[in-house]
Amino acid sequence: MKKIILIFTVLLTTATFAQDKNKKASIEVDGVCGMCKERIEKAAIRTKGVKSAVWSVETHELKLIFDERKTDLKTISKSIAAVGHDTKEIKATDEAYDSVHPCCKYRDEEVQKDHKKEKGDGK
C-alpha cells in the first residue's frame, strides 16, 4: 500500500510541475500600425501571467512569454479582443472594434491600402 501511495504522490507532483513558468507561444492578431502595436501589447501584458508581448506590424504575429499556471492563450486572446483586435481564435465585438482610432480600422480595405502606401509596399 505504501508503494501505491508513493507512486501516486510522484505522479501527482510531476503533473503539477508540468506547466511551464515561461511558456513561449505566438498568435496572429489583426492590426495595421504603431498605435495598434501599442494597444495589442498593452492588452496582452495587462493579462495576469503574461511576462512579455511583442507584436509585429508586418507579420501580425504576437510573440508571447507567459506563465501557463496563471493564464492561457484563450484568455490572452480575450484580452486583446476586448481592446478591439481580432485574433485567429476570438473576434473583437463590433463595439470594441469601433472604439479603436479611425487609422486603426484594420477591417477596412481603404485603411489597409493607406498603410501600405505609407510603408511603400503598394499602390
DSSP, collapsed to helix, strand or coil, labels residue 61 as strand
Domain 21-119 belongs in CATH node 3.30.70.100: yes
Asked if 57 contacts 106 with a C-beta cutoff of 8 angstroms, the reply is no
Residue 14 CA to residue 30 CA, distance in Å, equals 38
Residue 30's nearest CA partner among 101, 70, 90 is 90
Whether 122 has a pLDDT exceeding 70, the answer reads no
Whether 113 has a pLDDT exceeding 90, the answer reads no
| CA distances from residue 80 to 12, 26, 40, 42, 96 in whole angstroms, order as listed | 34, 13, 6, 9, 10
| The total number of residues written for the chain in this structure | 123
**Average predicted confidence (pLDDT) for the chain:** 88
pLDDT value at position 69? 95
Residue 99 CA to residue 89 CA, distance in Å, equals 20
Q: Which residue has the cell 481580432?
A: 86
Residue 23 CA to residue 72 CA, distance in Å, equals 10
DSSP-derived letter for residue 80 is: H
pLDDT in tens, 95-105: 999 999 999 99
pLDDT value at position 84? 97
What pTM does this model have? 0.80
DSSP, collapsed to helix, strand or coil, labels residue 75 as helix
pLDDT value at position 110? 87
